[in-house]
Each structure stands twice: as structure tokens, then as C-alpha cells.
């Protein structure tokens, strides 16, 4: 049995929401740092005729992190991009079946991506990034962390649908 707070959300959902919001804040910090680094690169290149390889590498790291760390929150709140031309024409029962299939496919994608990422990092993790000398394991950590969190969100959504509930953030059909 799961305990609920005043809003009626079960404990696992509250924890998942908090983890997603923490990842969002990390992504916001990465966005601000990335913007500052890109500005520094432009100034360095145009005013001082010098490149900043460290800034370039950190900007790539920030860009990677921003994407993968925000996707779980978007899915949790059902704010991701959807194309529902076909599903909108279905009845409630068929729509529910399609929603379950969709969540199962998202979950499958997450598991395959994490597995492939693990296999990739077993080999690439022995190397470091060129400018910073950062181990590739650390460089790809935001992607793997985001995908692990996305897997938990997709699992929550799939279980909610299978038990007859609407996932948090979903509007009733």
C-alpha cells in the first residue's frame, strides 16, 4: 500500500516528480552555463582570434544534459510532443489499448537505449574527452541518468494504465 499526501498523490509518484524536478533544475543550470560558454566562445573567436576548446566541450556536455534531463518531466506531465490524429478518432476502450501499447513501446525504447548505452560505455568509457580529459563515462552520465529516470516514468505510466488509472498529467479523454 502506498501512502498519499494532501493532494492524493501516492508516495512513488511524489518521489518520481521530485526526481524529475531536480533533473529539470540541473538542466536549467546546464542551459545557463552553456549559454555563457557559447557567448565566451563567440567573444574569444571574434575579439581575440582564439578558440576555446574547453568551452566547446563543456557546451556540448550541457546540451546533451539539457535534453536528456528534461524529457522525463515532460513525459511525467504529459507535455511531450504527441501526434494523436489516429488515436483521437478511437473510442475510449481502443484509446486505452493504444495508450498501453504506446507506453510499452516507450518503455522498450528506454530499456534498449540503456542497454546499448551500457555496452557502448563499457568500451568508450576507457577513453577521455579531448579538451577536458573527462572520462566518457562522466560525459554521457546525464544521458544515462535521464534515460534511467525516463524508464521509471514510463514504467509508472504503463502500470497506471494497466490498473485502469490515467497517468499524472493526462487529461481525461
- Return the domain boundaries, the chain: 11-162
Instruction: Determine the Cα–Cα distance for residues 81 and 127; give it in Å rounded to an integer.
Output: 35
Cell matching residue 41? 566562445
Per-residue pLDDT tens digits of the chain, which is 173 residues long: 455 555 677 888 889 999 999 999 999 999 999 999 999 999 998 998 888 888 889 999 999 999 999 999 999 998 888 888 888 899 999 999 999 999 999 999 999 999 999 999 899 889 998 988 889 899 999 999 999 999 999 999 999 999 988 776 654 44
Q: Which residue has 516514468 as its cell numbers? A: 153
CB neighbours of 140 closer than 8 A, spacing ≥ 6?
Answer: 64, 117, 120, 121, 124
Question: Which SS3 state, helix, strand or coil, does residue 5 take?
Answer: coil
Angle subtended at Cα 141 by Cα 139 and Cα 143, rounded to the nearest 5 degrees:
100
Residue 13's Cα: distance from chain center in Å? 16
Amino acid at each position: 500500500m502506498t501512502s498519499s499526501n494532501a493532494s492524493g498523490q501516492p508516495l512513488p509518484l511524489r518521489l518520481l516528480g521530485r526526481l524529475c524536478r531536480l533533473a529539470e533544475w540541473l538542466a536549467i543550470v546546464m542551459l545557463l552555463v552553456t549559454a555563457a560558454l557559447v557567448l565566451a566562445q563567440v567573444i574569444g573567436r571574434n575579439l581575440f582570434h582564439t578558440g576555446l576548446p574547453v568551452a566547446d566541450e563543456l557546451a556540448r556536455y550541457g546540451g546533451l544534459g539539457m535534453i536528456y534531463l528534461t524529457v522525463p518531466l515532460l513525459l511525467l506531465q504529459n507535455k511531450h510532443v504527441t501526434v494523436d490524429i489516429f488515436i483521437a478518432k478511437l473510442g475510449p476502450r481502443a484509446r486505452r489499448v493504444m495508450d498501453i501499447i504506446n507506453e510499452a513501446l516507450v518503455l522498450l525504447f528506454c530499456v534498449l537505449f540503456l542497454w546499448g548505452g551500457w555496452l557502448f560505455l563499457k568500451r568508450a568509457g576507457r577513453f577521455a574527452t579531448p579538451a577536458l580529459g573527462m572520462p566518457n563515462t562522466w560525459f554521457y552520465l546525464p544521458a544515462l541518468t535521464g534515460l534511467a529516470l525516463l524508464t521509471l516514468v514510463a514504467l509508472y505510466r504503463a502500470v497506471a494504465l494497466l490498473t485502469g488509472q490515467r497517468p499524472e498529467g493526462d487529461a481525461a479523454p
